[in-house]
Amino acid sequence: MAKIMVFQHVPYEPLGTLDPLIRSQRHRIRYVNFGRNPDAQPSIEGYDALIILGGPMNIGQEAEYPHLDVEKQVIREAIEQNIPILGICLGAQLIAAALGAEVYRAKQSEIGWYKMLPTIAGRDDSVTQAFGEQENIFQWHGYTFDLPKDAELLIQGEEIVNQAYRVKDNVYGFQFHLEASSALIQRWLNLPVHQRELGLDKSQDRIAQIKQQTENEIARSLSLSEKVFGAFLAKLPKVNEKHCFNHRHF
């Protein structure tokens, strides 16, 4: 089993479908919970992978959330040490920013289920090759990014193009929320801050629409999630240790 460091920003953006998959492979997780400890100074030394989850803050808010700079530095160190990285939503934006790419507000937010299309590189990539010619994937973001230098675009959207990319052979950024289960999506829809983001005058209609789409799409999304995240976890080094799965928090 491997040791995985996880950057978490808020309690309502967890590992989602990644959690049981990691648990089943008996990997060890250590959370860096910046919501509880914004002054944390984590070190990637001794870890075999880094996963960066989503959050409501954005690149450009480093003065308010100085841990964003800390995270970017750890990302750069992990890349230098050839440690596998997976960034989801804000995590993908942090990887891009750490590598010098621009992150900025999108012309329009994407909230709900959106059509995703693999590129030629995405069809050939070991992690994203499970994507069909067209997949509907859950989104919740208002920012987007330019691709980092030497990054390969793997998955593209019809409205916001850059959706998933790879740097080197083991650093992945996913703008979308493939980790989202039906229960997690329902949790997000119930949050007042998210309902305000949908627009108070239209939120109930939009929520009902997203719930119906979730019923239609979630089975395929869960199947795809298991294949894609399983392929990423296959990139982790095989480490023989005596201890079983363990959660630790800073």
The two structure tokens encoding residue 82: 């050839």
Rounded to whole angstroms, the Cα distance separating 69 from 65 reads 8
The pLDDT score that the predictor gives to residue 197 is 75
The pLDDT score that the predictor gives to residue 239 is 61
CATH of residue 49:
3.40.50.880
Q: Give the list of residues 6+ apart from residue 144 with CB closer than 8 angstroms, or none.
A: 93, 103, 104, 105, 106, 160, 162, 175
Q: What is the pTM of this model?
A: 0.93
Q: What 3-state class would DSSP assign to 72? A: helix
Q: What 3-state class would DSSP assign to 118? A: strand
Alpha-helix runs per DSSP H in the chain? 18-24, 67-80, 90-98, 120-124, 182-190, 192-198, 203-233
Count structural domains, the chain: 1
Mean per-residue pLDDT pooled into runs of 10, the chain (250 residues) = 96 97 96 96 98 96 97 99 98 99 96 98 98 98 96 97 98 99 95 75 79 97 98 86 42
Coarse DSSP helix, strand, coil percentages of the chain, rounded to the nearest 5 percent? 35, 25, 40
The pLDDT score that the predictor gives to residue 224 is 99
Domain with 19, as residue range(s), is 3-249
Q: What 3-state class would DSSP assign to 203? A: helix
